[in-house]
């Protein structure tokens, strides 16, 4: 069975749990305490050179890291990853954008304000990250004002990747009230079959 090295509080890990639940692939959760630094032990680094979760140990013993790469791997052959060139590239467009323009500015304020505390001297950086988080939400709002889902006009792993941190943006004091299309999309994602919550 697939072993998923993961943290219960991490949105990146939640992406993979949500996908596996929705496509009905069984997996074993292996908790890694990121607050205690368990991602930086020699044993963990030998298994996962990136030193981060999520990581999946596959049935052949190989390990795959990076949440969005894992989404593509597990969704291959399902409707959640389009087979056609254009649809697949649209999904990848949102996955790359999520890691560069969204996750660092929506997930990090949440991590600091809800789990780790704001590091000393980083108050200004927190405000800057939140401001860029709002810019990322503006992009989502513009897209979702005219489309039910992010890519290929249907629910895909692009929605899973962006849902993971957007729906808990408030935990980083990023307010979704003004983002009507984003809030409606969050409801559509929650309504998908076999949806599981981040704390399930």
Interface with ligand GSH (CB under 6 A): 7, 10, 12, 34, 39-40, 51-54, 66-68, 99
Kind and range of the H or E element at 181? helix 180-190
First to last CA, the chain: 20
Nearer to ligand GSH, 38 or 147 (CB): 38
Task: State the minimum distance, in angstroms, from the CB of residue 146 to ligand GSH.
Answer: 28
Task: State the minimum distance, in angstroms, from the CB of residue 12 to ligand GSH.
Answer: 4
Please check whether residue 9 is in contact with residue 16, taking contact to mean a CB–CB distance below 8 angstroms.
no
| Cα–Cα distance, 52 to 37 (Å, whole number) | 10
Task: State the minimum distance, in angstroms, from the CB of residue 65 to ligand GSH.
Answer: 6
DSSP state of 114: I
Nearer to ligand GSH, 80 or 142 (CB): 80
Nearer to ligand GSH, 21 or 181 (CB): 21
Nearer to ligand GSH, 115 or 170 (CB): 115
Region of 117 (left: φ > 0; alpha: ψ -120 to 50; beta: rest) is: left
Task: State the minimum distance, in angstroms, from the CB of residue 194 to ligand GSH.
Answer: 22
Lookup result for tokens 């789990």: 115
Q: Give residue number: closest CB to ligand GSH.
A: 52
Task: State the minimum distance, in angstroms, from the CB of residue 197 to ligand GSH.
Answer: 17
Nearer to ligand GSH, 72 or 182 (CB): 72
Task: State the minimum distance, in angstroms, from the CB of residue 34 to ligand GSH.
Answer: 4
- The candidate with the shortest Cα–Cα distance to 82, out of 149, 4, 14, 127, is 149
CA–CA distances in Å: residue 127 to residues 76, 105, 109, 113, 182 = 38, 10, 9, 12, 22
Kind and range of the H or E element at 15? helix 11-23
- The candidate with the shortest Cα–Cα distance to 21, out of 80, 85, 62, is 80
Nearer to ligand GSH, 96 or 180 (CB): 96
């Amino acid at each position: 069975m697939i072993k998923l090295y993961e943290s219960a509080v991490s949105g990146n890990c939640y992406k993979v749990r949500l996908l596996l639940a929705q496509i009905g692939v069984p997996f074993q959760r292996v908790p890694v305490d990121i607050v205690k630094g368990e991602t930086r032990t020699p044993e963990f680094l030998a298994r996962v050179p990136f030193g981060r979760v999520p990581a999946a140990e596959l049935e052949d013993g190989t390990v795959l890291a990076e949440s969005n790469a894992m989404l593509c791997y597990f969704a291959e052959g399902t409707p959640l990853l389009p087979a056609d060139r254009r649809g697949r590239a649209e999904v990848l467009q949102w996955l790359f954008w999520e890691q560069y323009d969204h996750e660092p500015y929506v997930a990090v304020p949440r991590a600091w304000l809800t789990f780790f505390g704001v590091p000393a001297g980083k108050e200004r950086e927190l405000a800057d990250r939140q401001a860029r988080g709002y810019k990322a939400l503006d992009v989502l709002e513009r897209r979702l004002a005219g489309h039910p889902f992010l890519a290929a006009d249907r629910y895909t792993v692009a929605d899973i990747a962006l849902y993971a941190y957007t729906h808990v943006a408030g935990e980083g004091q990023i307010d979704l009230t003004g983002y009507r299309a984003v809030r409606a999309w969050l409801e559509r994602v929650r309504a998908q079959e076999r949806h599981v919550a981040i704390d399930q």
